[in-house]
Structure 1
Amino acid sequence: MEVERELRRASLPGGLSTGAKVQGGEHVPQQERYLERLDSNSLLCRLNRNCELVEGALQELTDEEREFVDLFWWHDLASDYGSHEQIVGKELGIADRSVWRWRRRILEKIEPSLRGIDPGVS
């Protein structure tokens, strides 16, 4: 994955150290140099921004709506006992047709918050 490759590229060898000497004789701790490199990595910054937008959108939802999101989008519930939608409905105690109404209502609620998502980050 591209993000993992960028993380490895940004990492510095060696564990803890007193830091490298810079002009003027000051030491920059290795952890600080690592964080500076991460902050300057555009892919990681874009990925972080996407995560912040999703987290913000989820905060706008009620607990019940967040539970729906968790079941509907983040769990694979398909089984021999029914379709994904049927199982989500059973878990939440709602009819199968209501699952689609919930989905539409939640998407309409969070869509404005997600407009800034960068689709180029995977």
Structure 2
Amino acid sequence: MPWINKELCTGCQTCIDECSVEAISMEEDIAFIDEDECIRCGVCHDVCPENAVRHDGERIPEEVQSNLIWAKKLLTHEYYSNDKTKQKQLIERLQRFFTKNKKVTEQTIEQLKILQNTEYAD
């Protein structure tokens, strides 16, 4: 999913003009991509003169840190605080949660490979 680096976006609106599904709008003079409307064609990325339209892969470290902040917040909840057994159980549940997400992702990728050989029309 493309996203806008707010520090690079100059508000030129080139991406808005080129978006065939009108998934991009301006919010406080910065382009914003509506994830639900975006069809992931990559045109906005290609036309942005400032390279402000970025790729998901750049956000992986940020997402990992966000997950860790969430886990640490849970661990400090009064239910878990000062109870190593409960903390260990929570970490194991979180590991299962992320392992499940990994499996869903892997299986989705496998199914997408099958779709590559299928033609789609209206």
- How does the TM-score come out when normalised to structure 1? 0.32
Q: Of the two structures, which has the highest relative contact order with CA contacts closer than 8 Å and spacing of 6 or more? A: 1
Q: Which has the higher helix share?
A: 1
Q: Which has the higher strand share?
A: 2
Q: Larger Rg: 1 or 2?
A: 1
- How does the TM-score come out when normalised to structure 2? 0.32
